[in-house]
Amino acid sequence: QVQLVESGGGLVQAGGSLRLSCAASGRTFSSRAMGWFRQAPGKEREFVAAIRWNGDSTYYADFVKGRFTISRDNAKNTVYLQMNSLKPEDTAVYYCAAAPSGLSGFNSWYGRTINYDYWGQGTQVTVSS
């Protein structure tokens, strides 16, 4: 069982920055790929970024490339999402998610919600214009 708790959301002006954190419980964090997704009102949940279990591979949605950075600290059981140059369209609830321990083929499934089996409660990010 894994519990995920996001923090770091809030209200920020366009062009500003926020750093989201996701703290995981349990002893399997370091063997799990992790992802960040977001969901705006009236829209489906969408992929934002993902990182392989050891941090050596990262993937991003096109709309955040060059602005967001995903990272992890396995010693702290935490994954981060640094968000810079925020835009009003980035407004959403941001969720972190954990993939099954040891799941292979990360580069083929990282963007699909169905491949993640644990989810946090989400943290609201609001970007004002």
Q: Which residue has the tokens 């919600």?
A: 113
- Give the per-residue pLDDT at 46: 97
pLDDT in tens, 46-59: 999 999 999 999 99
- Cα–Cα distance list, 67 to 31, 61, 100 (Å): 27, 11, 28
pLDDT at res. 68: 98
pLDDT at 106 over 90: no
Mean pLDDT of 5-13: 98
pLDDT tens by residue, 19-48: 999 999 988 999 999 999 999 999 999 999
- pLDDT tens, 53-96? 999 999 999 999 999 999 999 999 999 999 999 999 999 999 99
For residue 48, the tally of other CB atoms under 10 A from its CB is 25
**How far is 126 from 43, CA to CA, in rounded Å?**
15
26 burial (CB, 10 Å; 0-12 / 13-18 / 19+) is: middle
CA distance 98 to 119: 7
Give the angle subtended at the CA of 40 by the CAs of 39 and 43, to the nearest 5°. 85
- 104 pLDDT band (50/70/90 cuts)? confident
